[in-house]
Amino acid sequence: MLRGFYTAASGMITQQRQQEALSNNIANANTPGYKADQTTIRAFPEMLLHEMGSSKHIPTSQGGLNLPVQNTIGSINTGVYVQETVPNFAQGDIRETGITTDLAIVGGNVPDEAGTLLFAVQNEAGEERYTRNGNFTVDGQGFLVTNHGYYVLDDTGNPIQTNGMEFTVTPEGMLQTPEQVIALGIAYSADANTLTKEGNDLFAGETEDVPADATFSIQQGFLERSNVNTLQTMTDMMTAYRMFETNQRVLRAYDESLGKTVSEIGRIG
């Protein structure tokens, strides 16, 4: 009985964590470049049950011998858990804003690879990080920054100085001002699942130079929208809630059974 108690409890915890991930997706449904989190649920290893205490009588010259044996009953599952949460790097819809500092990466497909392209930025600790959120602006010192104030980097890892809003960006990712031409820092991850979220629309992980056969373009005045499917997410949230309720009812039934075991059976004895 106690084993079933813990199995139902693990189901409740799993659905709660899935609900948290889905709620975070809904909260970021309007965040440019946001990649929806997906939870992977896995069962705990199965346990093989044996009957203990049985014995087998073996006749001997001195009358016989009782040897303990184990009878196999079968396997039992011990619940589920959220193994990991991974982002879905599918391309979001492209929306036109008409704002000079808004940039969107369109495409980025490489044959036979499940990779992705990202803008290179610098976090508050001076470390290189990556983002798909191209909702940029120009700070008071003339540097191109993210909406969280992180420097947008060029292809050499240096902050980009634009000296104002008057610049253009070519589809190849070349930022052109009246004084200079700067290549945007575009990073490539051959396996997007190795990247980890750090908050504030940032990803961390190993990246490499953009492959020569990558097909992509940078669109100025456009933003990549979140790839959250709000209708599907709301449906998944309702499903997770119902599953939580089901496990809760099972847990309550076990609790009532344990209460009867302590109060009623104990009193009869």
Supply 204's token pair: 């961390």
Within a domain: 257 = no
pLDDT in tens, 195-226: 999 988 999 999 988 888 888 999 999 999 99
- Residue 198 belongs to what domain range? 94-224
Supply 169's token pair: 């960006």
Per-residue pLDDT of the chain (269 residues; tens, 9 = 90+): 566 777 888 889 999 999 999 999 999 999 999 999 999 888 776 766 666 666 666 666 666 666 666 677 766 667 788 888 888 988 899 999 999 999 999 987 665 567 899 999 999 999 999 999 999 999 999 999 999 999 999 999 999 999 888 899 999 999 999 889 999 999 999 888 889 999 889 999 999 888 888 889 999 999 999 999 999 999 999 999 999 999 899 888 877 777 777 676 656 55
Within a domain: 148 = yes
pTM over 0.75: yes
* Closest to 230 in 3D by CA, of 84, 88, 23, 40: 23
Within a domain: 123 = yes
Within a domain: 14 = no
Within a domain: 230 = no
Q: What is the domain count for the chain? A: 1
Structure confidence at residue 81 (pLDDT) = 80
Within a domain: 149 = yes
Structure confidence at residue 60 (pLDDT) = 64
* Closest to 121 in 3D by CA, of 83, 160, 74: 160
Within a domain: 191 = yes
First-residue to last-residue Cα distance in the chain: 20
Q: Is 59 exposed, middle or buried (0-12, 13-18, 19+ CB in 10 A)?
A: exposed
Within a domain: 53 = no
